[in-house]
Chain A
């Protein structure tokens, strides 16, 4: 692997590859992360998209991409990446294209696809050691259809399908661990609100071969119910409270790239978001708040 060139904020790209004027919501944490990731992955990329919010990035006859884009379906974007990768390899091998014309296949999928319908295709792609990057923008619900609960929804969150006083009864699926259990080349969690940590990981992933999977928490003003101007703040608090651990899996080991210390109480993160307002109004739900805090505390105790 060649030397890393990103050491500080000053090393981050100052121009953006993704065109402006897309259909994403104001304050979209997914778009923020995607901007940052695209700038580092660069132009030689084919984004193979699964059905989700970002499917609307490219709407005929316009496109914000300076590289390739292929919309597939909700369940099979990794298989689309397989077809693109294999075809480019075949063309190179036959001498039909030069190495200069080669591109990296990058799956772009939301949590609805990644945690559910697309998981079988992702698992199989890793099993075949597909040389690709997988990017999940995780806004913890089926955001494009109005934030119904998905396999990524955190415990107690209100969604349009979990409206009881306790919110979502399940627990957020540990997709990082599921991916890592396949022993791919690289897995990382990132968030757009921590651009340096994100950039270092994407730079590392870009230089590796094999399956490289990136899970980006995507603060979602419309789905999580907060003011779009708070998007970065919500993202930072997700990290500072320890609710969104920044980590990577490489060479068979999981390493935390940021250990929040001291950890900010989770309610600082929760109280900014309307989807958790039932924990505070009309009265504080102490037991549920303690349960969420306890869950985070146990995670970090185990990680230490």
Chain B
């Protein structure tokens, strides 16, 4: 088994290449751009076959992607953050077209303030759209997930577009050893796209994406999409088994790390979960019974798998790298709804951290575990916490003071 050093972006591009996608509507945005540049270079050099077209916005890009999928070709596209938000009207719209294609989102925090580094608020805006979501923690997972995503999207019981998510910078620009399967190995797992009835052909007139009048017809289509998304749970499990049989790597809907006898679990998604994994190892060394539950699948929501894993533990530390203003962490709220009223439900603790690429230190993981242990002993979860150290606050105040004194000096402020 040979492995190649690839960035997360490189792994995403390889996923698209191995899926032998026909069409890539594109638009550049940091930190995603490397994906479309890589594909463009392959297509120009003839190393891979496909057509890449640069649109003038993500809104148009997603429209073109879905229109091409509706015409019957395999489509790949990618974006980040503001781009995903700019295209959000079409994210919601095309999910209802029931067109299977894959969009890689390289997570980056959203404005304001405008910034480049990651958190998950961007991709969670797409949470209710009908797109399915797979979240990756390693570069290998990115490549593998793109291939699995096509199987999931194109499955006759699903037929929904899929977002494969990776964290900007921490994964997009980090090189890790990745096993790149050969095309011959991929084809038996992922055969050519069969568009079924999704096509425009002169001999087969069809009206797609038509309007409805009234709530009854509207509800019919919305329910259909929801039920298809729910069916994707079982379909995903089948695909994960098959993928394992083909490539020897199993990517379950929920990745459970040292959970077996764990009393306290960390619960998070994405690349920062590897930090939690490291903290789990160190805490285990000291005799703590801790583990990590990392959902890879966020839509559909793997409720049964999570219940199986979490019920019976004492406390779960939910670390949200997102923030719903005026409410709090989105993963926390979703997990609470999945566990509420279930016998053996653990205490849930909510922490917000890692916004805009802010690091989460090992000490913070230890502290969270400590707080969780105390909560378990007391039988009471503390109020949700926003991670921010006094050291950080001191640094920020210092910068503000420097800026203020400069402004006094140049006379823009008295």
Give the residues in chain A near B63, CB-CB below 8 Å: 72-73, 76-77, 79-80, 83
Contact segment of B68-76, B258-266, B369-377 = B68-76
Point out the residue from A58, A77, A84, A86 that lies within 8 Å of B200, measured CB to CB: A84
Which residues of B from 194 to 229 have beta carbons under 8 Å from A?
A: 200-203, 205-213, 217
A73 vs chain B, min Cβ distance (A): 6
B60 in contact with A90 (CB, 8 Å): no
What is the bound-complex CA distance between A20 and B127, given in angstroms?
A: 40
Count the A-B residue pairs with Cβ separation under 8 angstroms: how many?
Answer: 148
Which residues of B from 45 to 103 have beta carbons under 8 Å from A?
A: 51, 53, 55-57, 59-61, 63-73, 89-90, 93
Given A72-B67, A79-B63, are A58 and B211 also a contact pair (CB < 8 Å)?
yes
Give the residues in chain B near A178, CB-CB below 8 Å: none
What is the bound-complex CA distance between A43 and B66, given in angstroms?
A: 23
A89 vs chain B, min Cβ distance (A): 8
Is B23 among interface residues, defined by CB-CB distance under 8 A? Answer: yes
Is A250 among interface residues, defined by CB-CB distance under 8 A? Answer: no
A48 in contact with B211 (CB, 8 Å): no
The listed residue with most A CB atoms (<10 A of its CB), out of B69, B207, B208, B217, is: B207
Interface residues on B, range: 35 or more
Which residues of A from 68 to 94 have beta carbons under 8 Å from B?
A: 68-73, 75-84, 86-91, 94
Point out the residue from B60, B201, B210 that lies within 8 Å of A69, measured CB to CB: B210
Is A65 among interface residues, defined by CB-CB distance under 8 A? Answer: yes
Give the residues in chain B near A86, CB-CB below 8 Å: 23, 51, 53, 64, 68
What does the 1/0 interface line of A42-84 toward B look like (CB < 8 Å)? 0110101000000110111001011111111101111111111
Give the residues in chain A near B64, CB-CB below 8 Å: 79-80, 82-83, 86
Looking at chain B's contact residues, the main secondary structure is mixed
Is A124 among interface residues, defined by CB-CB distance under 8 A? Answer: yes
- Count residues on chain A whose CB falls below 8 Å from chain B CBs: 47
Give the residues in chain A near B65, CB-CB below 8 Å: 83
Point out the residue from A43, A90, A100 that lies within 8 Å of B22, measured CB to CB: A90
Is A97 among interface residues, defined by CB-CB distance under 8 A? Answer: yes
What is the bound-complex CA distance between A59 and B201, given in angstroms?
A: 21
B59 in contact with A103 (CB, 8 Å): no
Is A206 among interface residues, defined by CB-CB distance under 8 A? Answer: no
Given A79-B55, A103-B201, are A88 and B71 also a contact pair (CB < 8 Å)?
yes
Is B168 among interface residues, defined by CB-CB distance under 8 A? Answer: no
B380 vs chain A, min Cβ distance (A): 49
Is B15 among interface residues, defined by CB-CB distance under 8 A? Answer: no
What is the bound-complex CA distance between A124 and B54, given in angstroms?
A: 10
Nearest residue (CB) in A for B92 is A73
Give the residues in chain B near A128, CB-CB below 8 Å: 53
Given A60-B217, A69-B210, are A83 and B66 also a contact pair (CB < 8 Å)?
yes
Point out the residue from A43, A73, A90 that lies within 8 Å of B202, measured CB to CB: A43
B67 in contact with A87 (CB, 8 Å): yes
Given A87-B67, A87-B72, are A82 and B55 also a contact pair (CB < 8 Å)?
yes
Nearest residue (CB) in B for A89 is B51
Nearest residue (CB) in B for A96 is B72
Point out the residue from A60, A82, A94, A97 that lies within 8 Å of B67, measured CB to CB: A82
Is B300 among interface residues, defined by CB-CB distance under 8 A? Answer: no
A102 in contact with B202 (CB, 8 Å): yes
What is the bound-complex CA distance between A233 and B56, given in angstroms?
A: 41
Point out the residue from B55, B200, B210 that lies within 8 Å of A46, measured CB to CB: B200
Point out the residue from A48, A82, A91 that lies within 8 Å of B72, measured CB to CB: A91
Given A59-B213, A71-B210, A120-B57, are A48 and B201 also a contact pair (CB < 8 Å)?
no
B361 vs chain A, min Cβ distance (A): 44
What is the bound-complex CA distance between A60 and B23, given in angstroms?
A: 29
B71 in contact with A84 (CB, 8 Å): yes
Point out the residue from A70, A77, A94 that lies within 8 Å of B70, measured CB to CB: A70
The listed residue with most B CB atoms (<10 A of its CB), out of A46, A73, A79, A90, is: A79
Give the residues in chain B near A264, CB-CB below 8 Å: none
Q: List 29 A-B contacts (CB under 8 A).
A: A43-B202, A60-B210, A66-B205, A68-B206, A70-B67, A70-B208, A71-B208, A71-B211, A73-B59, A79-B25, A79-B60, A79-B61, A79-B67, A83-B65, A83-B67, A84-B70, A86-B53, A87-B23, A87-B67, A87-B68, A88-B200, A90-B23, A90-B51, A90-B68, A91-B72, A101-B201, A101-B202, A102-B202, A121-B59
Interface residues of B (CB under 8 A from A): 22-23, 25, 51, 53, 55-57, 59-61, 63-73, 89-90, 93, 200-203, 205-213, 217
Interface residues of A (CB under 8 A from B): 43-44, 46, 48, 55-56, 58-60, 63, 65-73, 75-84, 86-91, 94, 96-97, 100-103, 120-121, 123-124, 128
Closest 3 A/B residue pairs (Cβ): A83-B67, A79-B60, A87-B71
